[in-house]
Structure 1
């Protein structure tokens, strides 16, 4: 199985990064302004995409946020897991080190390279949102 991974140092405390990953305002601040929630199922709408991505929130603490893709769309995301591990940054006083993983991709999946590119852009947006509080979602409806 293949995975996408990033390590990002963020000049914001863990609570701020956690809220960016776990609240409606946080998620719409860096990913897409099309976010909805039904219990622990997060629904993400994107322009030109026929149905929302469905992600089940499996864990949400100030040190770890974990989701599992449960929807049929996009098909190459099915049963993949997305995690963010949050800890104190040794490089930024009062900052957060974020380790991101999107695991469970089939080896050789042609959707992996474009997803990795998009996640890289999203990690930059997440970092900027957590540091400034200024919403700039990558996708807008």
Structure 2
């Protein structure tokens, strides 16, 4: 049995702005990793660098510009390696409804629970980055 993390949140902007923030390295670094590289095309590799110790890689599993991007971890730690996470975007009258998932966790262990909390904090940071231009310094991100 695998475990999953799910969050939904409204972001008061258009879908393309949200898509860019979750797919383009120059925006990802403003709310998630310290450094990032990659291009949003299926099969392409992203580097999510948090520190020298946490220098992780993922492949784009599925992408549709302005609609969604899903990443499959390929080089991280034992808990994250089997996982896939992604962002599905739904246009609404008052903004974009973001459907986030991080699935296929092997265990509901301490790391899973910590990561769930971190994603909640990071997604709040994503919302604030898009809506207000707020950038939380990397060392202050969960």
Q: Same fold (TM over 0.5)?
A: yes
Contact 1:40 1:56 in 2 (8 A): yes
TM-score by length of 2: 0.85
Q: CA offsets per residue over residues 27-56 of structure 1, 9 Å max, x none?
A: 012112311238811111114x51411111
Note the C-alpha offset of 1:80.
Answer: 0.5
1:32 paired residue number: 33
- Structure 2 regions of 5+ residues with no counterpart? none
Q: Which residue of 2 aligns with 1:84?
A: 87
Q: Which has the higher contact order (CA 8 A, sep 6+)?
A: 1
- Root mean square deviation of aligned Cα: 2.0
- DSSP 3-state at the match of 1:124: helix
Which TM-score applies when normalising by structure 1?
0.85
Equivalents in 2 of 1:76, 1:4: separation in Å?
13
Local SS of the residue matching 1:76: coil
Moved over 3 A (4+): 137-140
Change (3 A) 1:3 1:138: farther
The change in CA–CA distance for 1:28 and 1:80 in structure 2 (over 3 A counts) is: same
Whole-Å separation in 2 of the counterparts to 1:55 and 1:137: 23
Q: Which residue of 1 aligns with 2:4?
A: 3
* Cα pair distance change 1:121/1:138, threshold 3 Å: farther
In the alignment, the residues of structure 1 paired with residue 132 and residue 26 of structure 2 have an alpha-carbon distance, to the nearest angstrom, of 14
- Gaps of at least 5 residues in structure 1 are none
